[in-house]
A and B are shown apart, each in its own frame.
Chain A
């Protein structure tokens, strides 16, 4: 067993897990954060995307032990009692998600993109979502929502609705 302490959504949390435990399993089973989803378990679908030290990664392809001492942001850390993140609001308003299973991963990828590039072009958004599979939507509404959220976050508009 290995004991890991991970800063998850701003809070230091510790768990003792078998060494082969992935970060995804630890988040879901040990830290009770089921927002990150298990879709393929091999890094293709992106449903498990979380942000580690500022970078989006597949949490199914990182051992929990490898996240020891690092900063992890999950979908649960995006909203607070004060409100939801502009991306979450924009995704809701644009009806960007249908079944919703890919949503947490897509939003985390988008969050990492906007953090790095506050004014992404459509090709840049597509590239950033290249590791997130969605079978329902065709991505169009997601790209729209990401553009709107980016505008809100740049302070150009307070209104998420078009």
Chain B
């Protein structure tokens, strides 16, 4: 790649614009000539400044995201959310909405040819039919000539619910007597167990047993650009879908399944995505929009509102993590027992991947000969949890590192030392038996400790680390704090 974009060799002209009088325009070409790198050109990446090809259009505000795209005759769709966590739908009356001037199409769960999808388990309805499993479930959708009319039409849709008691606590959900969220299926819908050595023997050989429970909360990706879709059903029975979807191949299969049409009739155009972070890895309203387009014969667009984004798109799994570790008095881990309960929310989504990764990584980067880790993901009547940056790794990292600190505190050891004693070496075996290569845990820890002055308060002090951390925080406050608390 060339180092710099082409520099226009011409005299600098004073900006004529009244808006930034004093500024002389820098010498860059405009309109844009994007430098296209030669295919597979090897560039030294490490230590180099990474300029992005799309950087200029981003800065100019000219990147066309999906909401910047319109088609002639395009309608705007809105989805009515259930607003109740668990309910039976007795009836849906859309007649008043349909009669509104400007409303061009209304669909409900009964209009969906195959009302289930999902990246692994096909347990998620496109629109709720007979049952509501969480408050963000779509129950009806309207396409109208303006967004305003669509929103007003939603208010005219009457739904009669028999409200049921929701299952909200994952630990309640675990119990056999708790009614299944998706009865007759059990609430535990996936599990994983990792065994290594003999934990009972390990605990017996330990001087101390340390236990702790750690919980993390639900986290939303909050992409700055909300989920959005434009669907156009054409006269030949083919549908073109513009979408913020990140995984279009998978999405195409899900759309084919839910619409019950051959995959060859579906074209998905992935638009430039304004932030994904794992939250745009599966379809959301694509089939609904396709159906609205089919019914109305016009292109239909929908953009999630920010509240939609929070309740109707996937989130990060909250975890309840029980840790029990046996250590010798000099800080060597003899055995560790872990139980992870993942709150899966109403649908499976990417729980399988998250469960697996959380379980495999739950012991931390430490050599532990005797290990037992089990992980279970359960349904609750909450917003579904799915893929998000790290797939369960950040949650268990919080737990095992907090747990290591607790152990160090109990043993009155430096939290750095206990990690150095137990950390993986070159060739260590992972909990699942993989031989690890290029292991630099200890080197990284030591380098980091040196960089932020870990030992400046005296090696071996149990609060040496806390003091070092506090120092960093203080600096942060001087820089950015506006509130003098």
Complex: A in contact with B (CB within 8 Å): yes
* A interface with B by C-beta (< 8 Å): 9-10, 18, 20, 28, 34-42, 45, 47, 73-89, 91-104, 107, 111, 115, 122-123, 126-127, 130, 133-136, 152-153, 158, 160-162
| 17 residue pairs from A and B, CB less than 8 Å apart | A36-B61, A38-B226, A38-B303, A75-B60, A78-B19, A84-B28, A88-B56, A93-B55, A99-B276, A100-B55, A100-B63, A101-B224, A103-B61, A107-B61, A135-B222, A158-B26, A162-B49
Query: Is B23 in contact with chain A by the CB < 8 A criterion?
Result: yes
- Which chain A positions have C-beta within 8 A of B394? none
Indicate if the CB atoms of A35 and B28 lie closer than 8 Å. Answer: no
A107 to B63, CA, bound (A): 14
- Which chain A positions have C-beta within 8 A of B59? 84, 87-89, 91-92, 96-97, 100, 103, 107
Indicate if the CB atoms of B30 and A84 lie closer than 8 Å. Answer: yes
A40 to B305, CA, bound (A): 7
- Which chain A positions have C-beta within 8 A of B306? 39-42
Known A-B contacts A75-B61, A95-B52, A99-B224; the reply to A85 vs B68 at CB < 8 A is no
Indicate if the CB atoms of A97 and B225 lie closer than 8 Å. Answer: no
Indicate if the CB atoms of B52 and A133 lie closer than 8 Å. Answer: no
User: How many residues from B make CB contacts under 8 Å with A?
Assistant: 52
A127 to B87, CA, bound (A): 46
A102 to B225, CA, bound (A): 8
Indicate if the CB atoms of A35 and B61 lie closer than 8 Å. Answer: yes
- Which chain A positions have C-beta within 8 A of B26? 83-84, 86, 89, 152, 158, 160
Which A-chain residue is minimally distant from B18 (CB atoms)?
A: A10
Indicate if the CB atoms of A153 and B62 lie closer than 8 Å. Answer: no
Within the complex, the shortest CB–CB distance from B175 to chain A, in Å, comes to 37
User: Which one of B18, B52, B225, B480 contacts A98 once the chains associate, using CB atoms below 8 Å?
Assistant: B52
- Which chain A positions have C-beta within 8 A of B63? 100
User: Which one of B18, B25, B52, B272 contacts A83 once the chains associate, using CB atoms below 8 Å?
Assistant: B25
- Which chain B positions have C-beta within 8 A of A158? 26
Which A-chain residue is minimally distant from B480 (CB atoms)?
A: A126
Within the complex, the shortest CB–CB distance from B455 to chain A, in Å, comes to 27
User: Which one of B4, B54, B221, B226 contacts A135 once the chains associate, using CB atoms below 8 Å?
Assistant: B221
A39 to B65, CA, bound (A): 12
- Which chain A positions have C-beta within 8 A of B15? 80, 82-83
Indicate if the CB atoms of B56 and A37 lie closer than 8 Å. Answer: no
A42 to B226, CA, bound (A): 14
Indicate if the CB atoms of A100 and B68 lie closer than 8 Å. Answer: no
Which of A81, A82, A84 has the largest count of B CB atoms less than 10 A from its CB?
A: A82
User: Which one of A37, A83, A95 contacts B28 once the chains associate, using CB atoms below 8 Å?
Assistant: A83
A70 to B307, CA, bound (A): 32
Indicate if the CB atoms of B222 and A76 lie closer than 8 Å. Answer: no
